């Protein structure tokens, strides 16, 4: 079964840092682009970041560029999101998601983790 | 940034009825649009990719259409498990963006 499992969420103070992880199984992780998406309480989905299958390129939403860093370890089948300078507006459920392999561009997100909750509060 | 506007915000229908959900892009995204379903407390689920292709395991009652700036998700006959929130998403241009969602509720 193709599966993604996030971890690392929790309560952090404003200005603090947190590192999220996403463990992949059941598919060839190194073949897929991977993404992070978040959902603030009661709100819609917000794409945050993408990383190419080899890790050669990364993309970020303006809201997190310069504060968040996406990375991957294909040998360990894992994806990470380092989050710095956190504010209350970063409070959300964070999902990792696999992008379909497409000839053109980044594919739709066909496998999602269950999410990990991040709360930024003093 | 490409803005996706979904309508209506809320749709109230009964099981067995048909549903039509719309997504309009602020500029052409060709056919690079996906639809997701999200139930409370659950991760989103891919329904349709590239405007009209059903994802693996998605029932035939779900169909997508459109290109350019106007897209539609149609559910031909609603089942009880279809009541959820639906999001559209474009992959035509960075940043990837989602619509604000349409809540499909039981009438």
Render pLDDT for B24-60 as a digit per residue (tens, 0 to 9): 999 999 999 999 999 999 999 999 999 999 999 999 9
Q: pLDDT at residue A103 above 90?
A: no
Could you tell me if A105 lies within 8 Å of chain B, comparing CB atoms? yes
Confidence of residue A93 (pLDDT cuts 50, 70, 90): very high
Q: Is B80 helix (H, G, I), strand (E, B) or coil?
A: helix
Q: Which among B38, B43, B92, B94 is the top mutation candidate for probing chain A, defined by the most A β-carbons within 10 Å of its own β-carbon?
A: B43
Strands B33-38, B45-49: pairing is: antiparallel
Residues of chain B contacting A, Cβ within 8 Å: 32, 34, 36, 38, 43-46, 49-50, 55-56, 87, 89, 91-92, 94-101
Q: pLDDT at residue A112 above 90?
A: yes
Going B10 to B88 to A71 to A30, the CA torsion angle's sign is positive
Instruction: Give the closest residue to A20 by CA, choosing from A73, A96, A88.
Output: A96
The DSSP code sequence of A79-119 is: EEEEE-S--GGG-EEEEEEEEPP-SSSPPPEEEE---EEEE
Q: pLDDT at residue A106 above 90?
A: no
């Amino acid at each position: 079964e193709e599966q993604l499992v996030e971890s690392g969420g929790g309560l952090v103070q404003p200005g603090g840092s947190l590192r999220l992880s996403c463990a992949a199984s059941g598919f060839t992780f190194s073949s897929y682009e991977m993404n992070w998406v978040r959902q603030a309480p009661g709100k819609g989905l917000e794409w945050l970041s993408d990383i190419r299958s080899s890790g050669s390129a990364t993309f970020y939403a303006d809201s997190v560029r310069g504060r968040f860093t996406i990375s991957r370890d294909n040998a360990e089948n894992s994806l990470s999101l380092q989050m710095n300078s956190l504010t209350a507006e970063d409070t959300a459920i964070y999902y990792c998601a696999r992008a379909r392999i497409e000839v053109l561009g980044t594919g739709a997100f066909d496998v999602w983790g269950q999410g990990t909750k991040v709360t930024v509060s003093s | 940034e490409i803005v996706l506007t979904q309508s209506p915000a809320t749709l109230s229908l009964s099981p067995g009825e048909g549903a039509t959900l719309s997504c309009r892009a602020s500029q052409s995204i060709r056919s690079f649009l996906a639809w997701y379903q999200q139930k409370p407390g659950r991760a989103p689920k891919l329904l349709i990719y590239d405007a009209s292709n059903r994802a693996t395991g998605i029932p035939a009652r779900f169909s997508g259409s459109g290109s350019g700036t106007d897209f539609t998700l149609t559910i031909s006959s609603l089942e009880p498990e279809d009541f959820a929130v639906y999001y559209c998403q474009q992959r035509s241009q960075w940043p990837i963006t989602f619509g604000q969602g349409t809540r499909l509720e039981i009438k």
